[in-house]
Structure 1
Amino acid sequence: MTLKTTRYPWSGLVVPSTKGEYTARLVADENNPKQQRVFWAISWNAHPALLVEYTCNPWKPIELPSFKNIGVYDYRDEGSIVIELLDMDMQDIFLKVGADVISSLQDVSENACRRACVLRLERWSSLLRPARTKLTPEAQKGLIAELHFLQHDALAVHGIGAALNGWTGPEAGPRDFAYGQVFIEVKSKRSSANPNIVISSEDQLNINSSEQLFLYVEELNSTTSDDEQGFTVTDVVNAVRKAIHSPLQVAAFDSKLANAGYFDEDDYSDSKWSEGATYYYTVNGDFPKIDSQSCKPGVSRVTYQIDLDYCDDYLVDRSTAIGAME
C-alpha cells in the first residue's frame, strides 16, 4: 500500500514529556477508510511509531517478530501494539511497513487486530532479513507443489482455516502437512523420465503404528516465457490467495509464505513452469526409505534419493488419500 498523502504523518505530534508515553493521532480516513483504531504516534524519545489498539479476552502472550532497527511492543494493560522506529535513517522503510499494516487491518475485527498485526509484521521481519535472496528454481518448484496440494486437495477436505493450519512445512514441521494422524510429504520432480525424489532427513518419512503418511509427488518442468499454459510461482500464490476471504487468514497465509522465503516484492516472471502428472504413495510396510529407526546411533542428517520406479506397489489413487484426511 502507498499512503495517499505526501505529508509526513507524524507532523504536528507533540513529543510527550513522560518516559514511556506516546502522543497519538488516528490515521486519517484517506488511508484508514474503515476507521480502524490505528494511530500515528510519537514516543517520549521522539521516535515515530504506529499504535494498533485491540481487544483480546482472554489475553495470552504472543511471540512478537524481531527487527534490527524497529521495536515491537505489546502493552497488555492498554490493549495496544506499538511499532516504533529506532533508527531514523530507516524512515522510508518504516513508512512502508506502517502503510502496509494499516492496509492489512482494514477488514479485520477488533478481536483479530492483534493477531493480524503480528502476522503482517512477521512477514516484514522476514523480508527485511539481511542477505535475503529470491527463491531458487528448486525452491520455487517445491513451493508450487505444496500450494497445489493445498489448493486442490487440502481445501477439498478441510475449510480454509483448517487447511492452512495444517500446512506446517514453512514452520519447519517434520512433514509438509499434518491433519490429525494423517501426514503428507510433498515432493516435486521433473518429468517421468526422472523417477528420483530427494528426502532431506532420516526423520522425514518416520511413521508410527497410529499414523498414516502419504507422499504427494508432482511433476513440474521449466518452460518458455511464451508458453501460454505456463505459470509462475506468483501465479500459483495469487490463485490460492483468491480462495481465502478472511483478512486474518490471508495474513496467516502470507506469514507462511514469508517463512518459505516467498514475497510478492520479488519478480519471478522469468521462471515459468508446466505441470505434469501427480502421484500419491502410501508410506508403509517395506516402502524403500531410511528413517531414524533404521539409522545406527551417531548417524544423522541423512539425505538420500528414492527411485519411484521401485514404489509402484505403494501407489494409491487420490480418493484414498483424500478419504484418509476426512
Structure 2
Amino acid sequence: MISNNTPWSGLEAGKVDTRRVDACARWNWFWAVMPHADAALVLQLSSLPEPAPDLPTLKNLEIRFQTLPGGPILFIRLKDSTQIELFETLCRDVIAAGELAETEAEALERAVRRTFRWHYLLRSARVEALTEDAQKGLIGEIEVLKLLIASLGVKTALDAWTGPSGAPKDFELVTDCIEVKAKRGASQPFVNIANEHQLTDVPGRRLWLAVIAVDKAQPPHGRTLSEYVNEVTQLLEQSDPSAIMDWDLRLADTGYDVLHDYSHRGWITSPSEFFSVTEGFPRITAPTPLGVSGVTYALALSACAPFRTNWDSVRLNLQEAQQP
C-alpha cells in the first residue's frame, strides 16, 4: 500500500487500483496505483485521439496512453516516490485545468499541456531563481524568438531555439544560425563571448550575431521577466496552443520556474542590432591550439561595425531559405 495522507492511500499495489477523484467532476479522473506501487493520475477516455499527440519521455514522470478492458486512458505516473507531495499538487492542477474544458478532447489537451508546464519541477528541483544576468540573457533570446515567430511561424521558431538545450548557438535553422547577446544600454560597447564555439562558422549555414540592450528598471517601469514570458505564452495560446508544451519545455531548460517571484525587477529592451558573422569578423573560433579551450573574451562592437546589418535584411534571408 502507498503511504498515508495522500489521495493514493488505501489503494493496493500489484494491480492497477483506482479511486474516482470526484463524483461530481465533469471528466473521469482517477487516483491510481500502478503495479509497481507508483502513484498515478488517470483520465478515462471514451476513445483515443486521432492522431494521438506526442508524449515525450520525461525524467521523473511517465505520461502515455493505454487501452484497458474498461476503455482507453491517459495516465501520468510518478517514477520518483520521494516527490509524492509535489506530484499531488501537479495532479490537482492538471485536474483543475482539465475541468475547464467543454469537450473530452479539450480536457485531454489541457491535461497534457499542464503536465508539461509542471514536469520540470520534478525533473530539476531548481531552488534558486535566475540571476539578473540570466534574466537579461533570457529576455534577449525571447525578443529574438518573437521576431522569428512573426517571420517564420511558431513551430519553425521554437524548433530553432536550441540554446536552452546546450547547443553552441542560441538559434539553429537549416540554413542560418543566430547567436544572441544581451548587454546594458549604457555599458561599454562590448559583448562577452562565452566560448570559442559561439561565433565559429557552421558549414552550409550563415551566422548572425544579435545584440540587444536590456536595462534594469524599477517597477512599475519596464516589464518583469514573467511578463516577457507571459507575452509569448498568450501569443501561442491565441495562434498555436499545441506549441505551448514545446515553449514550456524550452523555458524549463533555461531554468525558468513559474513559481519564482520576479516582480521586484523590471527590464526595458531596445531593438536588436544584427551583424553578419562572415570572413574578417573579429572573433576567436574553434579549433583552438591544442590544450586551449573554454576561451572567453570581450568583443568590441566598434570593430563589428563593417558587418552591421538590420533585421529586415536578416528576415529576408531567413524567409528565402524557407521557401521550397
* TM superposition score normalised by structure 2: 0.79
The answer to whether 1:231 aligns with 2:226 is no
2:322 is aligned to none
Letter in 2 for 1:96: T
Letter in 1 for 2:233: R
List per-residue Cα deviations over 1:199-223 (Å, max 9, x = no partner). Answer: 1111111214521111111111112
Identity of aligned residues (%): 26
Q: 1:164 aligns with which of 154, 158, 164?
A: 158
Q: 2:261 aligns with which of 247, 252, 267?
A: 267
The answer to whether 1:214 aligns with 2:208 is yes
Question: Please, which moves more after superposition, 114-123 or 253-262?
Answer: 114-123
1:175 is aligned to 169
Q: 1:25 aligns with which of 14, 20, 26?
A: 20
Distance in 2 (CA, whole Å) between partners of 1:167 and 1:313 is 27
Distance in 2 (CA, whole Å) between partners of 1:316 and 1:297 is 35
Higher relative contact order (CA 8 A, sep 6+): 1
1:310-321 equivalences under 5 Å are: 310-321=303-314
Give yes or no for contact 1:15–1:43 (8 Å, CA) kept in 2: no
The answer to whether 1:301 aligns with 2:301 is no
* TM superposition score normalised by structure 1: 0.79
Task: Describe the shift of the 1:254–1:82 C-alpha distance in structure 2 as closer, same or farther (beyond 3 A).
Answer: closer
Aligned-residue CA RMSD in angstroms?
A: 3.3
Distance in 1 (CA, whole Å) between partners of 2:276 and 2:120 is 34
Distance in 1 (CA, whole Å) between partners of 2:123 and 2:36 is 27
Give yes or no for contact 2:176–2:207 (8 Å, CA) kept in 1: yes
User: 1:291 aligns to what SS in structure 2?
Assistant: coil
Letter in 1 for 2:119: E
Letter in 2 for 1:251: M
More helix by share: 2
Letter in 2 for 1:15: L
List per-residue Cα deviations over 1:169-224 (Å, max 9, x = no partner). Answer: 11112211122211111110012542111111111112145211111111111122
The answer to whether 1:149 aligns with 2:141 is no
Question: What is the CA distance between 1:259 and its match in structure 2?
Answer: 0.9
Distance in 1 (CA, whole Å) between partners of 2:15 and 2:273 is 58
1:51 is aligned to 42
Task: Describe the shift of the 1:103–1:123 C-alpha distance in structure 2 as closer, same or farther (beyond 3 A).
Answer: farther
Give yes or no for contact 2:32–2:40 (8 Å, CA) kept in 1: yes
The answer to whether 1:95 aligns with 2:88 is yes
Distance in 1 (CA, whole Å) between partners of 2:77 and 2:58 is 11
The answer to whether 1:128 aligns with 2:125 is yes
User: 2:90 aligns to what SS in structure 1?
Assistant: helix
1:73-112 equivalences under 5 Å are: 74=64, 80-84=74-78, 87=81, 91-103=84-96
Question: What is the CA distance between 1:231 and its match in structure 2?
Answer: 1.2
1:39 is aligned to 30
The alignment of Structure 1 onto Structure 2 pairs a total of residues equal to 303
Task: Describe the shift of the 1:148–1:118 C-alpha distance in structure 2 as closer, same or farther (beyond 3 A).
Answer: same
The answer to whether 1:10 aligns with 2:10 is no
List per-residue Cα deviations over 1:7-65 (Å, max 9, x = no partner). Answer: x8837x8634x7243325366564xx4x3x64321345765421356848899996532
Question: Please, which moves more after superposition, 185-194 or 307-316?
Answer: 185-194
Which consecutive unaligned segments of at least 5 residues does structure 1 have?
1-7
1:4 is aligned to none
Question: What is the CA distance between 1:75 and its match in structure 2?
Answer: 6.8
User: 1:244 aligns to what SS in structure 2?
Assistant: helix
Q: 1:72 aligns with which of 62, 68, 83?
A: 62
1:5 is aligned to none
